[in-house]
């Protein structure tokens, strides 16, 4: 049978390019888990995906109720779950004030980390039931959360500190909306959320790989300077960022190429090792990359996991 893969945020950018690559391979049925149903449907058609290869299902990661509703709908569809790709993200680099999810968590960490944390934790059970031989759970990471790289050293840097803001609920009322308890910074909140994504992937690997055989991976697909991720940035940035990445840093990658890379992490037999953060070199060959000290801190991963469980109501 065809593999069955859920991709969050498949209505644009990397998620859409990956959905297209997998649908075209003829080996996958893609469940596009998106907050804007119509946009996702139009996006799928605009890239020429044929009807039998995809299903759009509503998911708003900025609401834990919506996450639970999505899981119910998915279960009711009767489809098996072979691979889950946590791809959706928001990036709010120019926001002066924090905004919040339905439950009152700062929006970047609430969407990118906590929404996906709940989703992947509850769907793990469904994945365990699938008879697919190569089950995978993938959480998209980023170089920007890794302070062992040049890009990761552009301020404001990712830093989770002692997690005091996360433990207080990230709600920004009496407490800080930032994980480390500091003042709100939208760009930093995004980077922090990506560190949480990479820590979560490793914690999943430590807790569940041996028992379930599921492969847990993260990746940095390259700088896809043209996606909607930068939609909130100032116009001059949006104009100069793609050529800067193309000609100066040479880290630029097209949406199509990035989609092929993530599709490899979904289905390529040679990328089956668990607990890996994949990256690609300039010849587009994949390699196991090193994470920064903070993004590979075992103790921090455990604490982020436990605090997140409390916030999303799993503990």
Task: Please report whether residue 35 would count as binding ligand NDP according to CB under 6 A.
Answer: yes
Task: Please report whether residue 297 would count as binding ligand NDP according to CB under 6 A.
Answer: no
Task: Please report whether residue 42 would count as binding ligand NDP according to CB under 6 A.
Answer: no
- Detail the DSSP E strand segments found in 35-132: 54-58, 83-86
Q: Which is nearer to ligand NDP, 176 or 279 (by Cβ)?
A: 279
Question: Would you state the structure tokens that stand for residue 100, as one six-digit string?
Answer: 């919040």
Give the integer Cα–Cα distance in Å for 265 and 64.
27
Torsion, Cα of 304, 124, 79, 23 (10° steps): 60
Neighbours of 283 (CB within 10 A): 5
Candidate residues 39, 42, 45, 273; the one interacting with ligand NDP per rule CB under 6 A: 39
Task: Please report whether residue 303 would count as binding ligand NDP according to CB under 6 A.
Answer: no
Candidate residues 6, 7, 11, 177; the one interacting with ligand NDP per rule CB under 6 A: 11
Give the integer Cα–Cα distance in Å for 69 and 75.
10
Task: Please report whether residue 127 would count as binding ligand NDP according to CB under 6 A.
Answer: no
Q: Are 242 and 226 in contact (CB under 8 A)?
A: yes
Task: Please report whether residue 223 would count as binding ligand NDP according to CB under 6 A.
Answer: yes
Q: Which is nearer to ligand NDP, 80 or 228 (by Cβ)?
A: 228
Question: Would you state the structure tokens that stand for residue 115, as one six-digit string?
Answer: 């929404």
- Detail the DSSP E strand segments found in the chain: 3-8, 28-34, 54-58, 83-86, 136-140, 215-219, 276-280, 286-288
Give the integer Cα–Cα distance in Å for 186 and 111.
13
132 is catalytic: no
Mask 155-194, x = binds ligand NDP (CB under 6 A)? Answer: ---------------------------------------x
Mask 55-94, x = binds ligand NDP (CB under 6 A)? Answer: ----xxxx------------------------xxxx----
User: Sign of the CA dihedral 282, 267, 59, 23?
Assistant: positive
Catalytic residue of the set 54, 91, 190, 277? 190
Q: Are 20 and 259 in contact (CB under 8 A)?
A: yes
Give the range of 13-21, 72-80, 147-155, 166-174 binding ligand NDP by CB under 6 A.
13-21
Question: Would you state the structure tokens that stand for residue 93, as one six-digit string?
Answer: 């680099």
Residue numbers of the site for ligand NDP (CB under 6 A)?
Answer: 8-9, 11-15, 34-36, 39, 59-62, 87-90, 111, 140, 142, 194, 220-221, 223-225, 227-229
Active site residues: 190
């Amino acid at each position: 049978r065809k593999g069955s893969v859920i991709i969050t945020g498949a209505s644009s950018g990397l998620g859409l390019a990956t959905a297209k690559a997998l649908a075209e391979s003829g080996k996958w049925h893609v469940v596009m888990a998106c907050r804007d149903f119509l946009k996702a449907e139009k996006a799928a058609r605009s890239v020429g995906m044929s009807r039998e290869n995809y299903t759009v299902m509503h998911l708003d990661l900025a609401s834990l109720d919506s996450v639970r509703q999505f899981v119910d709908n998915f279960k009711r569809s009767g489809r098996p779950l072979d691979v889950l790709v946590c791809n959706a993200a928001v990036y709010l680099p120019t926001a002066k004030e924090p905004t919040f999810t339905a439950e009152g968590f700062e929006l970047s960490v609430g969407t990118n980390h906590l929404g996906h944390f709940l989703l992947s934790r509850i769907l793990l059970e469904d994945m365990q039931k699938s008879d697919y031989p190569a089950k995978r759970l993938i959480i998209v990471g980023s170089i920007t959360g890794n302070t062992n790289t040049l890009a990761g050293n552009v301020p404001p840097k990712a830093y989770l500190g002692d997690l005091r803001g996360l433990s207080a609920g990230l709600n920004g009322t009496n407490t800080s909306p930032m994980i480390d308890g500091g003042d709100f910074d939208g760009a930093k909140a995004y980077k922090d959320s990506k560190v949480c994504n990479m820590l979560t992937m490793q914690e999943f690997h430590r807790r569940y790989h041996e028992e379930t055989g599921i492969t847990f991976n993260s990746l940095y697909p390259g700088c896809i300077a043209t996606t909607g991720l930068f939609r909130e940035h100032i116009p001059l940035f949006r104009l100069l960022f793609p050529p800067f990445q193309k000609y100066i840093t040479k880290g630029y990658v097209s949406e199509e190429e990035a989609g092929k890379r993530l599709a490899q992490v979904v289905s390529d037999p040679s990328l089956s090792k668990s607990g890996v953060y994949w990256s690609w070199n300039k010849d587009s060959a994949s390699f196991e990359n090193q994470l920064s000290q903070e993004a590979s801190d075992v103790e921090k991963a455990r604490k982020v996991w436990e605090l997140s469980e409390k916030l999303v109501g799993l503990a």
